[in-house]
Structure 1
């Protein structure tokens, strides 16, 4: 069983769905902590180490962000704050008149076990910023993140559909593959 530290219920639902695919049980604990400013990797390492020390057991945390090329990677590591303060409507206003719509969602899983240093696992999914919000599924930037191969935004995909290829799926899959391989050693 893996302990997932997050206060975000949407992340829990997605992670449970992904862990189920791989037959790994997931426990959820909401353990609030101050996040340092830095890269997704920095935040994930810090959170995993902090939670591991507090609970004295192996844990994972996740930090994720939306990186828009035309906005020099904004909102990036500030995605949660930007979502809360600006929202999708204002991101679309910032993108008004911009032809380069390339964006990627990135997810970093931080894992730490007692008496060890944290490890990180990066996942990403490439897409574009839509010209308008589409769909009411998912959360945060999902209605404006268009996956060209699907012809839909994350907001138009069910959790199960999104979890087939999302940034979170990619990072969690890398972690799970590494984690189960540790039993073989």
Structure 2
């Protein structure tokens, strides 16, 4: 079985990454480390720097994940600032910002960045959807307010979130590449 380290402080992300990559025959080692998260308008630049930061701390091939919720009516906000925005205004704040908006379309993008000390390789997964009218219970992060296209429930309410997941799409692309190395 192939193995790779996953660097994060987010246990929820680790469980999701582990459940997906295990299906591909890739064993995940969870490495809890604080990563450098630069301020940038580019989600890709942030993911690359996080991967370099993780490798510097663990000295072995590693993946990191960075994602963003991009809301059309808000000009793509919160985008690459999703983590900070969630910590400051949360789902309730996003719902308030959209309270008078007809257009509730949004997309979730996940970037998996792999680094082995040579080159950072990026794998993207994107899912289109919309922001719900109210916050559902359960889930974590923006899951209680994001409804993927082709679904009537939020990520938090779906029994099969992985079937719709932006993270799943990025991880599947990573796994296909990684298993060919």
Q: Counterpart of 1:124?
A: 126
How far 1:146 sits from its partner (Å)? 1.2
In 2, Cα distance between the equivalents of 1:36 and 1:68? 22
How far 1:54 sits from its partner (Å)? 2.7
Q: How does 1:88-107 map to 2 (within 5 A)?
A: 88-107=91-110
TM (normalized to structure 2)?
A: 0.94
Query: What SS does structure 2 have at the residue aligned with 1:109?
Result: strand
Q: Counterpart of 1:153?
A: 154
TM (normalized to structure 1)?
A: 0.92
Contact 2:66/2:110 (8 A) holds in 1 = yes
Q: Counterpart of 2:69?
A: 66
Whichever structure has more helix as a proportion of its residues is 1
Contact 2:110/2:126 (8 A) holds in 1 = yes
In 1, Cα distance between the equivalents of 2:112 and 2:128? 18
How far 1:53 sits from its partner (Å)? 2.7
Q: Counterpart of 2:90?
A: 87
How far does the alpha carbon of each residue in 1:72-100 deviate from its partner, in whole angstroms, 9 at most, with x for none?
Answer: 01011111111111011111110012111
Unaligned runs of 5+ in 2: none
Task: Choose the corresponding residue for 2:32, options 27, 30, 33.
Answer: 30
In 1, Cα distance between the equivalents of 2:59 and 2:149? 43
TM superposition outliers: structure 1 runs of 4+ over 3 Å: none
In 2, Cα distance between the equivalents of 1:118 and 1:8? 21
Contact 1:133/1:143 (8 A) holds in 2 = yes
Over aligned residues, Cα RMSD in angstroms?
1.1
In 2, Cα distance between the equivalents of 1:23 and 1:89? 39
1:57 pairs with 2:60: yes
